[in-house]
């Protein structure tokens, strides 16, 4: 599982992935293995909306968060303080998660996937993005351009437009006013919801989730790709439950003298 971007959405989603990993292990699965990619370092204003502490300032975002997860749960997840490359797909990738939230970075990921042979593309691509008060989480199947779930680019080609807008805020006030303070937690939670459904139940009830925190409308709209929940390939095979033979209880008889 590859996580691209550990900023506003990615830093919060990584914590949810840790909880999902613990649940998978409790059910008898092998757990998740996550590689987190991010070339950026933690700044002072990142502490307002992202999942970092003051002691993290100046360190690489992916390294900080992966170290924290590994120490907390005894994991061996990997941090990559760089951008994604074609070499990262030499081994099979079940799920690619992008939390880049910019047209330029999303273009780079799309072009990279398009240059790969179909058998090297990830089975699923979960894209998480947001504007100031709205956001979306889209699950697609890059390996199946015909008949599979559409990717974020299939649904909205304009998602690749625009330049990176990751400039640091000059103050905490600017960091809070540029975006709704709770848009990132909402997007990260909905992404975790999709991943959890895939792993725990093998279905996706809503491959596209749209969040709107604007005005009085504070609901999550789910757009179903099919009328019924869509079956998906199991990302982690769980062992079959052991069938224990049923034993008949001995009937109790009341003895009378």
Using DSSP, state whether 169 is helix, strand or coil. Answer: coil
pTM of the predicted model, to two decimals? 0.82
CA distance 150 to 245: 45
pLDDT at 239: 47
Per-residue pLDDT band for 133 (boundaries 50, 70, 90) equals confident
What is the model's pLDDT at position 192? 96
**N-terminal to C-terminal alpha carbon distance within the chain:** 71
Q: In angstroms, how far is CA 104 from the centroid of its own chain?
A: 20
Cα separation, 169 vs 227, whole angstroms? 43
Q: What is the pLDDT of residue 71?
A: 97
**Residue 201 pLDDT:** 87
Helix, strand, or coil (residue 155): helix
Judged against a pLDDT cut of 70, whether residue 226 lies above it is answered with: no
Give the confidence band of 9 by pLDDT, cuts at 50, 70, 90.
very high
pLDDT-based confidence at residue 181 (cuts at 50, 70, 90): confident
Residue 194 pLDDT > 60: yes
Task: Give the tens place of pLDDT for each residue, 42-100.
Answer: 999 899 889 999 999 999 999 999 999 999 999 999 999 999 999 999 999 999 999 99
* β 124-130/134-140 pair status: antiparallel
Sign of torsion, CA 185 190 191 197? Answer: positive
CA distances from 152 to 37, 47, 70 (A): 20, 29, 31
E-strand ranges in 50-175 read 78-80, 95-98, 124-130, 134-140
The two structure tokens encoding residue 66: 């992966």
Which domains, and CATH codes, for the chain?
Answer: 2-161+171-231 (3.40.50.720)
Question: What number of other Cβ atoms are within 10 A of residue 78's Cβ?
Answer: 15
| Confidence check: pLDDT of 229 > 80 | no
Q: Are strands 35-37 and 2-4 parallel, antiparallel or unpaired?
A: parallel
């Amino acid at each position: 599982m590859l996580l691209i971007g550990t900023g506003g959405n990615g830093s919060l989603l990584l914590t949810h992935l840790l909880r999902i990993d613990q649940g998978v292990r409790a059910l008898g699965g092998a757990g998740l293995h996550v590689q987190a990619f991010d070339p950026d370092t933690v700044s002072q204003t990142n502490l307002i909306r992202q999942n970092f502490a003051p002691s993290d300032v100046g360190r690489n975002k992916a390294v900080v968060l992966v170290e924290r997860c590994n120490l907390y749960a005894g994991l061996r997840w990997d941090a990559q303080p760089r951008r994604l490359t074609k070499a990262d797909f030499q081994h099979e990738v079940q799920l690619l998660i992008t939390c880049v939230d910019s047209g330029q970075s999303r273009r780079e990921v799309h072009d990279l996937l398009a240059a790969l042979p179909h058998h090297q593309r990830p089975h699923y691509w979960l894209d998480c993005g947001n504007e100031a008060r709205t956001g979306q989480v889209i699950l697609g199947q890059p390996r199946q351009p015909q008949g599979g779930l559409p990717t974020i680019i299939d649904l909205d080609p304009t998602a690749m437009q625009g330049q990176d807008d990751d400039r640091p805020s000059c103050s905490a006030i600017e960091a809070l006013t540029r975006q709704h303070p709770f848009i990132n937690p909402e997007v990260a939670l909905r992404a975790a919801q999709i991943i959890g459904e895939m792993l725990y139940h093998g279905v996706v009830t809503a491959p596209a989730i749209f969040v709107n925190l604007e005005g009085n409308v504070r609901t999550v709209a789910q757009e179903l790709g099919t009328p019924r929940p869509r079956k998906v390939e199991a990302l982690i095979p769980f062992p079959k439950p052991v069938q224990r033979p049923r034993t008949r209880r001995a009937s109790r008889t009341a003895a009378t003298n």
